[in-house]
Amino acid sequence: MIEIKTANDIKIIKEGAVLLKKILKRTAKKVQPGITTNDLNQFAEELILKSGAQPAFKGYENFPKTLCVSLNSTIVHGLPSEYQLKEGDIISLDLGIFFKGFYSDMAITLGVGKVPPLAQRLIKVTKKALRIAISSAKPRKTFGDIGYVVEKYVNSQGFNVIRDLCGHGIGRELHEDPKILNYGEKGTGPKIKEGMVFCIEPMVSLGDWHIKKSSDGFGWETIDGSLSAHFEAMVAVSRNSSIVL
């Protein structure tokens, strides 16, 4: 069942989302060759606790860290470690908080130093896929419409969407209904209605869309080792449009 949020709920969720964006932006500025992914995790956790929020991911389904750090072929849920970032890596930072009774969740992908042109293009295409998806998240459309436009655009660029991972509703729980696929058919799935709040998160691969579990037991990576990128934004649906929280 898809929960409809009140105007006051959305006001509080937006407050948390704005806080999360600031924390994620400051964490992203720390990305440079030589820093460890554990360093990034520790920095993000300290910022969250100082802000009065709580980490959303730490302890969720036994995940032991605050920040998901996914490198190169890892798509999501990568476990921070003592790995030192190298020039040319691409890194996805996925972070969530619990604030005033509601969850917020965001992700970005960026290059470490100078990255190859194809990796730059992968990041650019995935970020644009998110913008295109948000433009389709309007009342009276369906969640299938969102998946359709994401897949159509990504495929037109010669890349593939990850089909076994998806976006989700969010609110009092970190993951709520509905599941928001990055592929689909127009007019299918639940209708988008005012008061819905959800996370849209295109995940894109340079190669095969099939996935496998990472050796750390938490991450998911491309089965062929191809590079992947991931962006995630929270959206609230208003009467006539959608609001990026």
Q: How far apart are CA 195 and CA 139, in angstroms?
A: 10
3-state secondary structure the chain: CCCCCCHHHHHHHHHHHHHHHHHHHHHHCCCCCCCEHHHHHHHHHHHHHHHCCEECCCCHHHCCCCEEEEECCEEECCCCCCCECCCCCEEEEEEEEEECCEEEEEEEEEECCCCCHHHHHHHHHHHHHHHHHHHHCCCCCEHHHHHHHHHHHHHHCCCEECCCCCEEECCCCCCEEEEECCCCCCCCCCECCCCCEEEECCEEECCCCCEEECCCCCCEEECCCCCEEECEEEEEECCCCEEEC
Confidence of residue 23 (pLDDT cuts 50, 70, 90): very high
**Domain range list for the chain:** 7-240
7-240 folds as: Creatine Amidinohydrolase (3.90.230)
**Is residue 242's pLDDT more than 90?**
no
* Rounded Cα distance, 41 and 147, in Å: 31
Band (241; pLDDT cuts 50, 70, 90): confident
User: Contact at 8 Å (CB) between 121 and 150?
Assistant: no
- Tell me: pLDDT of 240 over 90: no
Instruction: Identify the pLDDT of residue 194.
Output: 96
Separation between Cα atoms, residue 51 and residue 46, nearest integer Å = 9
Indicate whether this model's pTM tops 0.85.
Answer: yes
Residue-wise pLDDT for 189-239, tens only, equals: 999 999 999 999 999 999 999 999 999 899 999 999 999 999 999 999 998
pLDDT tens digits, one per residue of 41-77: 999 999 999 999 999 999 999 999 999 999 999 999 9
* Backbone conformation region of residue 160, classed left if phi is above 0, alpha if psi is from -120 to 50, else beta: beta
- Per-residue model confidence as pLDDT tens digits over 152-195: 999 999 999 999 999 999 999 999 999 999 999 999 999 999 99
In 3D, which of 56, 64, 60 has the Cα closest to residue 102?
56
